[in-house]
Amino acid sequence: MIGFLLLIVTSVTYAQKDDLKFMLLSQTDDFEQFKNMEQDNFYKKLKYSKLGDSAAISFGGNYRIQWEMLNNPMFQKENGLDNNWFLSRGMLHLDIRSSSKWQFFAELGTSHSIDKDMPSPVDEDRLYINQLFGKYKSKNYEIAIGRENFNYGSRRLIAIREGPNVRLSFDAIRFTYKWKQFSSEALVLSNVANEIGVLDNDFYAFDDYIWGSYNRFNNEKNTTKLEVYYFGYKAELENYASISGSETRQSLGVRSDVSLARWKFNNEFVYQFGNIQNQTINAWTLSVNGTYKISDHFNYEFNGEIISGDGNSSDGQLNTFNPLYPDAAYFGRVARFGPYNLLDLHTNLSYKKEKISSELGYYAFWRYSDQDAIYSSGGRAVYQAVNDEKFVAHQIAFSLKYNWNSHFSTDLESNMILPGNFLTAQNFNKNIYYVLLTSKFTF
């Protein structure tokens, strides 16, 4: 609560013109906006100071505090566990750039939980290097080496993991070629396994890792975007309802963004193959998303998704889709279901005007295969296939966000999940109630 009050006091007294824009990934912030700030004061020097004739240095960061309340987290009344807690995260970064040719970026993070029973590594890490990389760019080429946060495409396979308290980092080597509206990126990524101590996360551990290529094309009017990608994935251990073991999996994907009048469509298809132990992998997912602009402030959105699950545990073939490292808030911040073995429909109405935005949404979930489990957002088979019921749950979600100024925002999200026949038949028959209040300060 003290941190929350300090956030409010700091943001209210912050005397800067309210026209700055901060990106989710701080390494992509626009230096020019800091260079052209009208007020020549300490804050401008902090955000933009020249180093010689061609380089500049910038310092920044953010602080976020969250209050969460979660009742009946496993669709059952649970006694003895606290149902509300606080999470805090602070980040500080140093960004040095030279004539748009090279960049050195370093970011430290500290994440803490208060009053949460059994916090996980995504809740707490006392001090860690979130990002530390160097990048060099020429006219058509770019090479980057070091630790980074990533968002690829629709965040279905590789995402920053912004919802939890500790972001997901990768130790990476990337090479990118750009020509007009086309770019092609070759990459090797080793995910960082978070520990809860001080500066104790290994570099380039390669316990699990990804290699591949991500290719993007935009037409000149920017009304059509096409992304084609390949990811290879190697894991020492993956656990599914029917099998566990070392896994090598290949993913071939295509994603398109198309704008037609008031409609925007975002569609994606991924096919996976490979092997785990003595079984072959044959899995896929298809997502169709459409957004209709009702007016300047209102949008209507619908989304349908099919995510394959295993149909027969004894046929020598695994059909369960592996989303690799997706956005943890795949179906809202409550994150009760992961993108494995699911059919889901989602529709929502959103409103946005100046500083305020809001959404009201509805989800419905079914199992794709009645022979496979329902998985958590972390990939654990939490609800086993003990019956042939397919309908899993309804979910109703509401969110409200207010941007007080460029530096300070407040978010409120609530979710209610009502169990369906698949869950109630196993005595998982209590509704889940979830509330999240977030305040974030960025400088």
Pairwise CA distance, residues 128 & 198, whole Å:
6
Closest by Cα among 442, 438, 440 to 86: 438
For the ranges 24-28, 74-78, 116-120, 195-199, the maximum mean pLDDT occurs at: 24-28
Q: How far is CA 204 from CA 93, 148, 189, 214, 272, in A?
A: 21, 12, 9, 21, 25
Is residue 365's pLDDT more than 60?
Answer: yes
Are 372 and 315 contacting, i.e. CB atoms less than 8 angstroms apart?
no
Pairwise CA distance, residues 127 & 380, whole Å:
27
Q: What integer pLDDT is reported at residue 12 of this predicted model?
A: 45
Is residue 212's pLDDT more than 80?
Answer: yes
Is residue 24's pLDDT more than 60?
Answer: yes
Is residue 3's pLDDT more than 70?
Answer: no
Among 116-120, 155-159, 399-403, where is mean pLDDT lowest? 116-120
Pairwise CA distance, residues 94 & 214, whole Å:
28
Is residue 257's pLDDT more than 50?
Answer: yes
CA geometry: angle at 440 spanning 437 and 443, to 5°? 175
Q: Is the dihedral of CA 328, 330, 333, 335 positive or negative?
A: negative
Is residue 342's pLDDT more than 90?
Answer: yes
Token couple for 83: 């149902």
pLDDT tens, position by position, 92-114: 999 999 987 999 999 999 999 99
Buried b (16+ CB within 10 A) or exposed e, 196-223: beeeebeeeeeebbbebebbbebeeeee
Is residue 2's pLDDT more than 80?
Answer: no
Q: How far is CA 375 from CA 320, 336, 366, 379, 421, in A?
A: 10, 8, 12, 6, 16
Which pLDDT band holds residue 82 (cuts at 50, 70, 90)? low
Which pLDDT band holds residue 174 (cuts at 50, 70, 90)? very high
Report pTM. Answer: 0.90
Cα-trace Rg, the chain: 22
Are 169 and 142 contacting, i.e. CB atoms less than 8 angstroms apart?
no
